[in-house]
Amino acid sequence: MRASPVMKGFTLLEVLIAVSITAMIGVASTQLLSNVIDSKQASEVRSEQLVSLQRFNMVVSRDIEQLINRSIRDEYGDKQASLLLDSGDFPIEFTRAGWRNSPVSRDPRAELQRVAYRLEPIDSDVCEPALQRLQSWGVTEPQYDCLVRYFWSVLDRASDSVPQPQVVLEQAERLEIDLLVQRERKASDNQQAEVSGRDWYTAWPALQSSGSEEERPLAIRWRLTLPALGDIERQWLLAWGPES
């Protein structure tokens, strides 16, 4: 009588162990892939934030480094100083040179430009481009303001002159601007002016000034608080000359 062949195979316990190991490997792989994707997205968002900060630095530096002492006439016909700091509708407004014409333009305009900067609510119409970029970064409910650059097409405005907005920074909590001013005593003929002091001003033109002294801006300081990067401070020297 022949013995029946022995049946070889996996027991139920071995199958359960194999399924458990496969499931554990699958869960670990999914978590690892999710972490890699999240890290990639975070890196892309941080990269976009740095690009935005570089754009802000480039635009503001280009404007301030070409600041020129040239007053204007506003829409009411009143004379306004070449530099206004906390003295109007904007925290800062000034005249700059170097606004290039198109090389193929048949009707060239002036190369001087009036610009201003102001924080605007993120839900306002002017901040719509900033809101769209923030949403693409995964920020669905932004809480801070955006920084907007305004410019006018003419220096001496008409009653219907409207500034054009440009978003230069998607989010900012705080903006403070100070002006370093040097006071000089007026000198007589053939004598140089004597420096009597230097102070940081939060408003310009100064409300009170001595008739025996002249005041000349030397430098300007911007202090920003950004949600992702914290406090940032920039200073620029001003090439302040006689009014043109």
209 confidence band (pLDDT: 50, 70, 90) = low
- pLDDT given for residue 184 in this prediction: 81
Q: For 114-139, what is each residue's pLDDT tens digit?
A: 999 999 999 999 999 999 988 888 88
Q: Which of 2-16, 30-44, 185-199, 216-230 is the most confident on average?
A: 216-230
- pLDDT given for residue 57 in this prediction: 92
pTM of the model: 0.78
Rounded distance, CA 153 to CA 102, Å?
A: 14
- pLDDT given for residue 105 in this prediction: 67
Task: Name the least confident of 71-75, 100-104, 199-203, 222-226.
Answer: 100-104
* pLDDT top residue among 10 and 86: 86
38 confidence band (pLDDT: 50, 70, 90) = low
Please check whether residue 49 is in contact with residue 232, taking contact to mean a CB–CB distance below 8 angstroms. Answer: no
Rounded distance, CA 117 to CA 95, Å?
A: 12
Res 40 pLDDT > 80: no
Res 210 pLDDT > 60: no
Of 96, 46, 33, nearest in space to 67 by CA: 96
Res 224 pLDDT > 80: yes
Average pLDDT over residues 91-105: 83
Res 3 pLDDT > 60: no
Structure tokens at 167: 């978003």
Res 203 pLDDT > 90: yes
DSSP for 120-161, please give it: EETTSGGGHHHHHHHHHTT-SS--SEEEEEEEES-SS--TT-
Average pLDDT over residues 156-178: 92
Res 165 pLDDT > 80: yes
**Bridge partner residues of 146 (DSSP):** 120
Structure tokens at 129: 């481009």
Res 5 pLDDT > 80: no
CA 229 to chain centre: 12
Q: For 48-83, what is each residue's pLDDT tens digit?
A: 778 888 889 999 999 999 999 999 999 888 999 999
Helix (H, G, I), strand (E, B) or coil at 63: helix
| Percent of the chain topping pLDDT 70 | 82
